[in-house]
Structure 1
């Protein structure tokens, strides 16, 4: 979908399920973030390293010093504008897709949340446990409440793994990739400059291609919500942010 002058940014985000914003971070801020990441030992269970990807799960928990760098005034204003004053972090991941990565991800929705423990709750399904971390698919209304901010530490385009999305697919509820009707749907590539961010809804169908231009794609992925989970179930990474 094309942005129109009549459609403000928040409305565009709600309708399309994604939006890109530039100049959230300066070059100096990006360099400070990268320097801190590169100073971390990578032998913890929450770290994943291979030829195709390096990832730090529970990123803010593992690197609490990063919080002040990530949540600058522009990002806090973005959270307030697109979410609200009550939104908090529920998941954070750092991804580094190396220059020669053959890692690709086919079209999917983000259907699971990270929680503190496994327990039987109505309409919470598909439980998994990896690296002592429980994940579950919650009811639709919880997923609809979440939004994600992807902070781009490198310029990203279709040649080094920029996300491809199907606009407005988040408004169709659970949408299986094999049911995509390409006669009706359109694909958009979300190019983002270094220091920019992409906001997206987890139910938005999205994918990522292999790297073909020998350039890295480093991204900080942070998910937000403003609701608590039922029956003493808790977000695994709940992190409050002082939005001012």
Structure 2
């Protein structure tokens, strides 16, 4: 577990520059374009189950080296924002996880089903031991929907943007960059003012043994 003094100095996000090469990015673009076309959607879930390349990417040592030891992947999504699919995302925290089935256990709820997958809000302590890696396949400046975050807002727990009047940071990224973030950090995305393609591979990782023993992750490692 992360020592308390390190947590207090953690901004809740980091940008890792140039993790993937231009050749690796281009291969992933081709793979992701095929998945998006097959799904007919700008948001494709369970991409590790649909692509051996993306399954291998989630377990690549370069990605795992960005995370605490022992973390394993538990969710995978492709976001494919285009000039035609140019939607804003309001300030929020990622408060739900996906599991195989609903089981009433203390601290978990409310429950919901989205796209056939069971979602639930877990205890806040579980979310503190998760990390998200957002792999950028395209230029993502402020004008093309770069993620905006409120540094250190993950330290407050469940909250709202209005409750934290701190300045935001715009996470501008280039192809091959990876944004690492806590699911509890407040984040948002504006509608693009100069829209172009913006493909993001979104992997969520969790520490071992944090899920209630009666539950199973929807996506196992």
**Which residue of structure 2 lines up, in the alignment, with residue 236 of structure 1?**
218
In the alignment, does 2:6 pair up with 1:18?
Answer: no
**Which residue of structure 2 lines up, in the alignment, with residue 132 of structure 1?**
116
- Out of 33, 49, 65, the position equivalent to 1:61 is 49
TM-score with structure 1 length normalisation? 0.82
Give how far 1:36 is off: 1.8
Q: Contact 1:162 / 1:189 at 8 angstroms: preserved in 2?
A: yes
Q: Which residues of 2 match residues 157-172 of structure 1 at below 5 A?
A: 157-172=141-156
Which 5+ residue runs of structure 1 have no aligned equivalent? Answer: 1-10, 240-244
In the alignment, does 2:153 pair up with 1:197?
Answer: no
Alpha-carbon distance in structure 2 between the residues aligned to 1:232 and 1:172: 28
Secondary structure of residue in 2 paired with 1:16: coil
Alpha-carbon distance in structure 1 between the residues aligned to 2:194 and 2:54: 29
Give aligned pairs, total.
215
**Which residue of structure 2 lines up, in the alignment, with residue 3 of structure 1?**
none
Alpha-carbon distance in structure 1 between the residues aligned to 2:37 and 2:100: 23
The 1:175–1:233 alpha-carbon spacing in structure 2 relative to 1, beyond 3 Å, is same
CA RMSD of aligned residues (A): 2.0
Which 5+ residue runs of structure 2 have no aligned equivalent? Answer: 1-5
Give how far 1:214 is off: 2.7
In the alignment, does 2:174 pair up with 1:179?
Answer: no
Give how far 1:119 is off: 1.3
TM-score with structure 2 length normalisation? 0.90
**Which residue of structure 2 lines up, in the alignment, with residue 29 of structure 1?**
24
Give how far 1:42 is off: 4.3
Give how far 1:20 is off: 0.4
The 1:213–1:41 alpha-carbon spacing in structure 2 relative to 1, beyond 3 Å, is closer
Give how far 1:212 is off: 1.6
